[in-house]
Amino acid sequence: MLFDTASLYFRAFHGLPSSLQASDGRPVNAVRGLLDFLARFISEYSPSQVACCWDQAWRPTWRVALLPSYKAHRVAHDDVELVPDDLVAQVPLIRDVLDALGLPIVGAPDCEADDVIGTLATRSELPVDVVTGDRDLFQLVDDARNVRVLYCGRGVANHDRVDAAWLRARYGVDGAGYVDFAVLRGDPSDGLPGVAGIGEKTAAKLIDEYGDLDNVIAAASARRLPATMTAKLAASIDYLGPAREVVAVRTDAPVPDLDLTLPSLPADPVRFAALAEELNLGGAAVRVVKALAGQE
């Protein structure tokens, strides 16, 4: 089970009230919410291995070099991400709590958590569940290798179990076609403009009919597409190649080999108990410990 950690703690922060505070008044809604999310998924799916995948770089230099608009609208200053101060203050606390629990935090230099997830999923000889609210990770869905996404876009309680059939029903493409589909469609939340005039349905139809972006461009070059479609693709040709590399998650990131075995109790129970009291983690702390022990 590979957790897209930032995706989950952002969701926890925005979904839970700021009135959840430590004894000294510090906000802890992201910490408590993340623990509850971890407890829920561990309890429901009983993974044997877990990784809390981490953004060592939220906007990797190599992605920005390929596509300067990538996440540019989220930059506050000097390539620092625009994040609420109350959430920034909780990130070190989240790391402390995960460390005390013994849940592996896994990152890689100049890589996003997506790249860590892609690499670990590719390496794994076990079935893989990816827990995220990020649609880009749909590209990893592979029924043959038992890789699926537990998608929290509609909430953790109502998460979707995304396999090839789900993708085909929702978007008309499978995991292998998702990158090219997403490049054509675009994604304003990541600064990907897409191809002007090509929406989700048209993008899916093109990938379904021609297989991939290379074949779509070849069909346009051979004048097998309508002239208006060819013109739209031609106008975006400088975007398509770089965007494809930007959207594709790495499967060869320099991720260290770590023991990802799910602990059955906190690695440092004294430290975790102290953090639970200091941060007023309450029932969330109890639930995650029970989940580790298989009691939830």
Residues 223 and 80 in one domain: no
Residues 255 and 119 in one domain: yes
Contact 38, 87 (CB under 8 A): no
Domain of 207 in residue numbering reads as 175-247
Q: What is the pLDDT of residue 81?
A: 83
Structural tokens at position 174: 């499978």
Side chain identity at residue 132, one-letter code: T
Residues 93 and 108 in one domain: yes
Q: How many structural domains are present in the chain?
A: 2
State phi, psi for 65 to the nearest 5 degrees: -60, -35
Q: What is the pLDDT of residue 296?
A: 60
Residues 280 and 156 in one domain: yes
The whole-angstrom distance between residue 219's C-alpha and the CA centroid of its chain comes to: 33
Residue 132's CB is within 10 A of a number of other CB atoms, namely: 28
Give the domain CATH number at 225.
1.10.150.20
Residues 133 and 236 in one domain: no
Give the domain CATH number at 107.
3.40.50.1010
Residues 221 and 259 in one domain: no
Q: What is the pLDDT of residue 79?
A: 74
Residues 123 and 181 in one domain: no
Residues 164 and 179 in one domain: no
Residues 59 and 164 in one domain: yes
Residues 154 and 279 in one domain: yes
Residues of the chain with pLDDT under 50: none
Alpha helices in the chain (DSSP H): 5-15, 29-45, 61-66, 85-88, 91-101, 113-123, 164-171, 175-185, 200-210, 213-221, 227-235, 237-247, 269-278, 282-292
- Does the pTM surpass 0.85? The reply is yes
Question: DSSP characters for 92-149?
Answer: HHHHHHHHHHTPPEE--TT--HHHHHHHHHHH-SS-EEEEES-GGGGGG-BGGGTEEE
Structural tokens at position 47: 């993974």
Three-class DSSP category at 228? helix
End-to-end alpha-carbon separation of the chain, Å?
17
pLDDT digits (tens, 9 = 90+) for 48-65: 999 999 999 999 999 999
Residues 104 and 202 in one domain: no
Contact 100, 271 (CB under 8 A): yes
Contact 4, 114 (CB under 8 A): yes
Residues 120 and 222 in one domain: no
